[in-house]
Amino acid sequence: MAGKPTRGVFQTIWKHFIESVKPRRFRGDLVGTDHFGTKYYETPLHSTSSKKKPPRYFEPVNKDDFQQEVPAEWEAWLRYRRKEPPSDAEVLQSLALMKTKKKNAAELESALEATRSSKSKPAPLPEAIGFPTYKDYQYPEGFKDSKE
């Protein structure tokens, strides 16, 4: 047992103390920006950190706007669904697709409005008719048939 190295409690404490005294980076590395101007950052992990994934965050253009859109590619990167940040070409392709879909939706909406305005009134519903009566069936005592 004397030949096996053991974990030293004091060595671990000393190592953590030295790491805590070293200057840390609180600002992450700029990874990229999107077409809105939002900046995306990733902070490198500290050597004594117990985290497995480096923290990722973004800095919006308008800091008061909490309803700001985040492109799907960047959101996937922020949530660790993808390892590498999206390229500019990917984001621009997605933006072009989004604009095409919005344009097509607007055209469909205007066509629908045109067909709605061309119709004057919806067709009236047919009058409700009662339950059918059959002479083959017997009616209870005191029942009067309105058709007879």
- Residue 57 has φ and ψ, to the nearest 5°, of -155, 170
Judged by DSSP in three states, 2 sits in coil
Which residues lie across from 117 on neighbouring strands? none
So what's the pLDDT on residue 4?
54
Residue spans per domain, the chain: 25-113
Mean pLDDT (whole number) for 11-40: 82
So what's the pLDDT on residue 81?
94
So what's the pLDDT on residue 122?
66
Which residues lie across from 59 on neighbouring strands? 39
Confirm if 42 and 54 have CB atoms less than 8 A apart. yes
User: Alpha-carbon distance 47 to 44, whole Å?
Assistant: 9
User: Alpha-carbon distance 137 to 139, whole Å?
Assistant: 7
Judged by DSSP in three states, 113 sits in helix
So what's the pLDDT on residue 10?
85
So what's the pLDDT on residue 147?
54
